Structure 1
Amino acid sequence: MPKEPKHIAEAQKQRIRIKQKSANYVPGKVTLQVLGTGAQGAPRSVYMFSDQNRYLFNCGEGTQRLAHEHKTKLAKLEHIFVTQAVWRNIGGLPGTALTIQDVGVPQITLHGPEGLKDIFPATKRFVVLRDLKISMAECNENTVFEDSVMTVKYVLLKKGEMAKSVQVGIEKCEVGTSTNNPRRRRKRSLSQTQALIESDDTDYYAHERKRSKKPYKRRQSRSRSPTFNESGKRTSNGHESLQALTLPPTDLREASASVCFICRLQPRPGALDLDKCVRKGVPAGPLLGKLKNGEDVILEDGTQVKSSDVREPDDAGPVFIVVDCPDEEYLASLINNEELKKHQKFAKIDEDMAHVVVHFTPIKIMEHTEYRKWMDNFSPSTEHILVNEHNSCMGSVAVHRIQHKLNLLSMEIFPLLGDQGSPVLETIDGRQCKKFKTEIDLQNLKLDNASALLETDNNTWRQIGSLASYHLRPKKGFDSSSSVRLDLDEFVNETTSLTDFPAALKELQESLSLAKSNLTISDYPRIIFLGTGSCIPNKTRNTSGILLQISDSKNILLDCGEGTCGQILRFFGSTKGDQILTNIDAIYISHLHADHHIGLIGLLQGRRQALDRLDIDKEPLYLFAPKQILAWLNFYDKCFESIMDEFILIPNSDLLLDQTTFKKKEEVLNSLGLSNMNTCLVKHCPNAFGVALQDKIGYKITYSGDTMPSDNLIELGQNSHVLIHEATMEDELATEAVYKMHSTTSQAIEVGRLMQARHVILTHFSQRYAKLPRFNDNFADNVCIAFDNMQVRVEELPLIPLFYPALKIMFAEHYEELEHKAVKRQLKSERQASLERKVVKNT
């Protein structure tokens, strides 16, 4: 849970004191570290750390989760460099900002395209930054950023006409990000920006898209989908009507520049070699200090000792470059840039040659002949690090660790993940080696002690994993020894070696075998939990996301926290994941807290990319959400990238039980494979809804979203087959649950009993319950605990409670810690009550 403001204030003071102490010297250690590799479904982010400060280059969706898992300290992060204001680079900014605010960072400076900072006022309704100041550096060819660690020059790549020679043989860049035509705006006044982000005050309804005779294609013109008013009559256009009310008359969409960064570390004097000083007869004392500062000295016997004779060579400051050429329209600007040429083979002095180039450029552009020629103009000693979809490592070890453990209990309910891009440790001839497991058999994948290299024609490009590093100072070059790896044997042995686990597992298998013999299990509906945690993601529980598979071709997503698209690709693998994404025909958003919808843009883009990769034409999906979400989505569409053509908004309020105002409801439900769908208002925040869906077979599934116990929800979900209910707090934290308007486990179970639900699945756990929540006497045989990457068919739900004895043993250490904390809370409560009784008695 977020810290109280008084803790943040103290952390900020401590941070300022540390910064003041370190500001006067040039750090001796500086390292670039890949945090998110840019693999499909993974963020793109490179972390730079020194003795003093931390810097982040791009901040894709899911960055904060990887930072949390790998203990990447964000307390010293003050500068974030963004190459292009598109979701693949900025999707993680809101969540990361909340995290660094929590650890006491007082201010963050953004470096990148103009307008980048607008992302924060646009998200102010659901990302509250009271204790963190956001500033924007002026980034153009005439400005330079400088601190005690490095200087940074900005290089702006702009779209332009390509010469015929450049266009020869080019294959149109794959629509891998829905950002080939990024949409940006001219400089806006504060009032114009405010008009966009305040637009949820308008009276706006966008019910459904009237189906056209031709299949929907994204590459059609930007004409908006038709909408209908409450009587079912066609209006001019819902999106356009909102524009008229909220947008200034000028066209705010304009192709953006892509900002590249030329970074040079500050020069550092060579270190004093004490052995050489001793050999020269230099005594301990002030003479050493003079030599260290570059002064020559005279000894008592008249011998002159030159500073250059007892110091290591001075470090002029290595140069590294961060490049992002989004598509072929930027190639000419990249190739002809004179500032970049100064650090290629055309450099006048060796110190100006780039040591390493970090490429955020898409692989399709890197394969372009002109881009390769540009790369060849660097010195042969220059290293090239690719942070794009060429990589396959998604960066997390923790999700595989817990899934391999749970897989011991049931291979069907807890299947091994389709993400096989992380290197797996294997033992060959008595030594451990890394091996990449991928869905594609890469026959030219070479293994050595340092890294895996993937040969592509004349270029050899390194396929990297998260935490791969390049040591700039001291100069050690590329280092993959710290890259994440999966030790599958270790994951399993950690559990099987527990004293009581083998017996518990055997008993579970016998119980499952007996229980299954009495069940008839249909393939659908199937529920896949993509995120079961609250507030912020942690190593083992992502924020809210549930994939409801109505059939093999119809999927509905219930809530969409940060990283939901990546969770789908990790669970299914890239090939099957694309099929799943294309079959998502509806997304339901329960309310507008960030942990329930901040992943929506990434999911819309991911679906579009999958449709393009599979060459499928399909209608936009239906977005069931509070209508106020349109302010955020419309703002993003107008100022950053086009997304409004990817969905049709149907306000949750139009599906209220017994108050449905949506005239086209039956047509929409038929297209989703549903016979009914209704919502209700619940007790959490304004415009928070619960939902009940019923498929054509008759299964009724109710989802609470976030709420305190709600009579509306009980009425809505009467006689449900499944109630999926939040259980953020344990029972002893009922007071905190009321304060934050959440439910305890017993309250959620009681709601299920009152609505006569056959099964209750608890989810949305506080991150204090990272592995397992606390059980209590109310856990009946119809109560299930959800885990990330758990898939269950409705008829399988009676099996889940059978796992609990084995789960308690599997996570015994974690569970004992929960019990210990509960005892401490109880003792503290008793002491407080005793003191209050004494005060009352004395008065």
Structure 2
Amino acid sequence: MYTLTPVTHPTADTRHPLLLLQSHHGDRYFFGMVAEGSQRSLTEGKVRISKLQDIFLTGQLDWSSIGGLPGMILTIADQGKDTLNLHYGSDVLNYIVSTWRYFVFRFGLSLKTNIMNDQEIYKDSILSVKSIITCMSTEQSNNFTEKEESVLRSIVANMFPKNAPTSKYDPSSDPYLNVELPRLSHTPKISTSYEVSFHPVRGRFKPEEAVRLGVPKGPSFGKLASGQTITLENGDVITPDQVLERERHFPKILVLAIPDDSYIQSFHEKFENYDCQDLGIVYYFLDADVTINDDLIKFMERFGNTVQHFVSHPKVCPNSIVFRGAAMIALKLKAMQQDSYNLPREETVLSKEFFECFQKEVVDGTTLQQSQEPPLTSSIPSDQVHVFSQNKEVQIESFTKGEEEMKIKLDFKPLRPFSWQHAYKKHVEPLNLRRGSFEKVIGSQINTDNFNTADKRANVEIVTLGTGSALPSKYRNVVSTLLKVPYKNAGGELQNRMILLDAGENTLGTIKRNFSSIAIRNIFQDLGLIYLSHLHADHHLGIISILNEWYKHNKHREESILYIVTPWQYNKFVNEWLQLEEPHLLSKLRYVSCEHLINDSFLRRETKPLDLDQYLNVVGSDARKRRKLETDTNSSFRQVEDIKAMFRGLNIAGFQTCRAKHCNWAYSNSISFYMSSTSRKLFKLSYSGDTRPNIEKFSKEIGYRSDLLIHEATLDNELIEDAIKKRHCTINEAIEVSNEMKAEKLILTHFSQRYPQAPQIDNNILVEAKEYCFAFDGMIVDFEKLGEQKSIFSQLNKAFIEERKQEEESE
């Protein structure tokens, strides 16, 4: 028996479909797209992937479709997995993985990329997977020369060495990794789909028939049962088919990924003469640019009326709340501080044609949108067509051809819509928080935005989008902080400056779940600066999605410029990645190196990458004579003109970094913003990034007397040894930094995921700042009222007893 389980479907939280195939022995395979949020969905659903060995990527590769893959690879490696295979139909896969070389590095994992040609078959002991490549041009699917391909394969291998490097290892100083990648001249328009077939099961052995044929009991029985032919002493030849029941087969599966309407005709042609015998299930992974119309329905009808059809499309799948554990935390916090949280949004716009054609029910609150005048009709029975969603599990079993029907069991669990009323009654009322009725906390707050409201237009506001560390968890996403700093121009008008401090995986998903489309447009049109503190994946795997969303709202606004202040290696990644996905965006980005803002006379130089020929010489040389990379002398000269332009563009008075005590090329920063064109009044922000306490450089120099300090507080106070080992701060150490800085106000964030709910609130040292608070995901903080959380400190631990108990039971 095999089980097919949807892991993700298109929602605000998870943008694309991912399908998990499991054997009854526990073997696991992924088919689909590993979007941001996929790993967190696995955690939410308690799906274990310890035996995952193969990921078959579908569709076109861009960040939206595989943004969750780097983080998932790191997690799989950290769980002790030693082998992982990535499959796809274009050599662009090796280029993609190579762009991650500065921040995806794990020893002990053997990561292999398998570039599959059209109709190529991958086999293991369980199944056969045939690739189906659909190209939108006559160009060859190969994007690189043989030499370039060998370099890319070598880089991928070197990202996952067998033996651990030294603790001070820096990938950008490694000649096996710091290489100029081959230039990608165009974005390949290729979509990869798959046909999955399972090896037949040998029929049951019939011992009575073997005895009748004169076969002696013992080893001969075993040989026949295993499919071998034997010869008896009298010379009779006995073949397995004489003593075995008929072979049993499994239904075939198609996983078809169609990126947009331009592919539909090619898919029609590709499957014109397709043999549908034994085909049991077709999964349609349709991107948003596929129109649900007659052409699509005709394509579906090619596979007949007996096949089970599962359709994934943003206008077919419900925008259900995926991370329900986090939503429940937000509800409890909102019950205590109503104006400090938005309720996660569930607005859904679905295809009227699809739901009427196949007579599917829609959940309450859904808007049906019509895209064509005549209604759709189909010869496929409605009960054979299903919406691809997380509750739609399928089991397939073996059957005997000619004797039995295909065995496909649809195990559809009732998907109870997320009900705020039910959640409030069951999880909030028993807490006796006495801070508001259902109507006050929820009824009047559905789709209400408490960020940048009329009474707070002139105030600094902070949204702690993600507040966890290391990897996404059920209750906290990885770190990201959005800052709104208003500026009054010469005309007396308020202009918003949005600043993003780090952006871990699925930061965009959090924004889309918490804000309306109009608010999102305003946020991204006002976004002027993205700051990245260091290259650890939990701080930046969401940045590319943020850049793409920013470009969507700003590409036609000529004056729009986005500054990105990052370690220099990340800028190389951005340039390499956007060559693949959105090269026009590069012209609107202005990069400044964190190192060039350092509060020091000495600037570390960047290391020069090797070109392809130099790299091949290094790889071919004796490993013991490891080549030392040259440094770029020009990189020690500050980007004075770029920095001045950033100061003018964002009305900044000062921007300094200092080296954080965490890893190579890690920084803390302080930024002073002008608040008005007619005043010299400043707002000074300091952000720690990840670091051990840095009193001398951070507290007493660049951050001294900050208006606001946002500091990591990863570990509880008794775990000081862990904090030292992992180069993080305890809560008391973060408070000490604030006290020495004489910061006016303090936000503590970046908590260890071992404390999924409230961190250590009691028994900390005295906070000398006027006001302080502990960050939670989605918390909206008005700087003027930052200390209001203090009134609920006594209730926070009580509020999360239920979640704490669940965590303990699952360990």
Specify if TM > 0.5: yes
**2:260–2:288: 8 Å Cα contact kept in structure 1?**
no
Distance 2:390 2:535 in 1: 32
Relative to structure 1, the CA distance from residue 41 to residue 396 in structure 2 (aligned partners, 3 Å threshold; closer, same or farther) is closer
Q: Does structure 1 residue 246 correspond to structure 2 residue 180?
A: yes
Q: Does structure 1 residue 637 correspond to structure 2 residue 612?
A: no
1:501 corresponds to = 432
2:781 corresponds to = 792
Distance 2:806 2:412 in 1: 35
Tell me which amino acid in the other structure corresponds to 1:679: T
Deviations 1:394-434 (A, max 9, x none): 522112111111111122102211244599xxxxxxxxx99
Tell me which amino acid in the other structure corresponds to 1:154: S
2:737 corresponds to = 751
Relative to structure 1, the CA distance from residue 629 to residue 494 in structure 2 (aligned partners, 3 Å threshold; closer, same or farther) is same
Q: Give matches, 1:273-292, under 5 Å.
A: none
Please point out which of 35, 42, 51 is paired with 1:60: 35
Distance 2:94 2:321 in 1: 28
Please point out which of 689, 693, 702 is paired with 1:709: 693
Q: CA deviation at 1:191?
A: 4.0
Q: Does structure 1 residue 488 correspond to structure 2 residue 428?
A: no
Q: Secondary structure at the match of 2:462?
A: strand
5+ residue gaps, structure 1, are 1-27, 163-181, 203-242, 274-284, 296-306, 424-432, 446-454, 510-519, 821-843
Distance 2:570 2:548 in 1: 17
Distance 1:86 1:92 in 2: 11
Q: CA deviation at 1:625?
A: 0.7
Relative to structure 1, the CA distance from residue 101 to residue 819 in structure 2 (aligned partners, 3 Å threshold; closer, same or farther) is closer
Relative to structure 1, the CA distance from residue 194 to residue 625 in structure 2 (aligned partners, 3 Å threshold; closer, same or farther) is farther
Q: Secondary structure at the match of 1:134?
A: strand
Q: Secondary structure at the match of 1:768?
A: coil
Deviations 1:477-500 (A, max 9, x none): 5444264742434532444454x6
5+ residue gaps, structure 2, are 160-169, 207-216, 229-239, 351-359, 399-406, 441-454, 487-494, 602-637, 676-681
Q: Secondary structure at the match of 1:261?
A: strand
Which of 117-126 and 594-603 deviates more? 117-126
**1:186–1:252: 8 Å Cα contact kept in structure 2?**
no
Q: Does structure 1 residue 377 correspond to structure 2 residue 362?
A: no
Identity score, percent: 27
Q: Does structure 1 residue 734 correspond to structure 2 residue 720?
A: yes
Relative to structure 1, the CA distance from residue 394 to residue 386 in structure 2 (aligned partners, 3 Å threshold; closer, same or farther) is farther
2:233 corresponds to = none
Q: Does structure 1 residue 333 correspond to structure 2 residue 274?
A: no
Tell me which amino acid in the other structure corresponds to 2:393: S
Q: Give matches, 1:350-365, under 5 Å.
A: 350-351=277-278, 354-365=279-290
Distance 2:201 2:525 in 1: 54
Q: CA deviation at 1:808?
A: 1.6
**1:186–1:253: 8 Å Cα contact kept in structure 2?**
no
Distance 1:492 1:502 in 2: 12
Deviations 1:715-770 (A, max 9, x none): 22222221100011111111221111111100101111111112111111111011
Tell me which amino acid in the other structure corresponds to 1:246: E
Which of 545-554 and 798-807 deviates more? 545-554
2:668 corresponds to = 690
Distance 1:35 1:201 in 2: 38
Q: CA deviation at 1:361?
A: 2.7
RMSD across aligned C-alpha pairs, in angstroms? Answer: 4.2
2:395 corresponds to = 471
**1:468–1:483: 8 Å Cα contact kept in structure 2?**
no
Q: Give matches, 1:202-601, under 5 Å.
A: 246=180, 252-253=185-186, 255-268=188-201, 315-337=248-270, 340-343=271-274, 347=275, 350-351=277-278, 354-367=279-292, 370-390=295-315, 391=317, 392-393=319-320, 395-420=322-347, 436=363, 441-442=367-368, 457-458=376-377, 462-473=386-397, 475-481=407-413, 483=415, 485-498=417-430, 501-502=432-433, 524-551=459-486, 553-601=496-544
Relative to structure 1, the CA distance from residue 435 to residue 540 in structure 2 (aligned partners, 3 Å threshold; closer, same or farther) is farther
Q: CA deviation at 1:557?
A: 0.8
Distance 1:525 1:100 in 2: 40
2:447 corresponds to = none
Distance 1:713 1:548 in 2: 20
2:659 corresponds to = 681
Distance 1:422 1:251 in 2: 37
Relative to structure 1, the CA distance from residue 313 to residue 634 in structure 2 (aligned partners, 3 Å threshold; closer, same or farther) is same
Deviations 1:432-467 (A, max 9, x none): x997365x633899xxxxxxxxx9744687544334
**2:285–2:312: 8 Å Cα contact kept in structure 1?**
yes
Distance 2:386 2:697 in 1: 56
Q: CA deviation at 1:502?
A: 3.6
Q: Does structure 1 residue 145 correspond to structure 2 residue 145?
A: no
Deviations 1:135-176 (A, max 9, x none): 1234123531123432111111111389xxxxxxxxxxxxxx
**1:395–1:484: 8 Å Cα contact kept in structure 2?**
no
The aligned length equals 667
Please point out which of 22, 33, 45 is paired with 1:49: 22
**1:403–1:789: 8 Å Cα contact kept in structure 2?**
yes
Distance 2:650 2:661 in 1: 28
Relative to structure 1, the CA distance from residue 264 to residue 779 in structure 2 (aligned partners, 3 Å threshold; closer, same or farther) is farther
**1:504–1:806: 8 Å Cα contact kept in structure 2?**
no
Distance 2:247 2:296 in 1: 34
**2:7–2:42: 8 Å Cα contact kept in structure 1?**
yes
Distance 2:559 2:226 in 1: 68
2:74 corresponds to = 98
Relative to structure 1, the CA distance from residue 59 to residue 704 in structure 2 (aligned partners, 3 Å threshold; closer, same or farther) is same
Please point out which of 808, 817, 820 is paired with 2:797: 808
Q: Give matches, 1:618-633, under 5 Å.
A: 619-633=560-574
Q: Secondary structure at the match of 1:35?
A: strand
Please point out which of 700, 706, 725 is paired with 2:684: 700
Q: Secondary structure at the match of 2:720?
A: helix
Q: CA deviation at 1:55?
A: 0.8
2:630 corresponds to = none
Q: CA deviation at 1:819?
A: 12
Distance 1:254 1:645 in 2: 18
Tell me which amino acid in the other structure corresponds to 1:571: N
Q: CA deviation at 1:470?
A: 3.0
Distance 1:816 1:41 in 2: 26
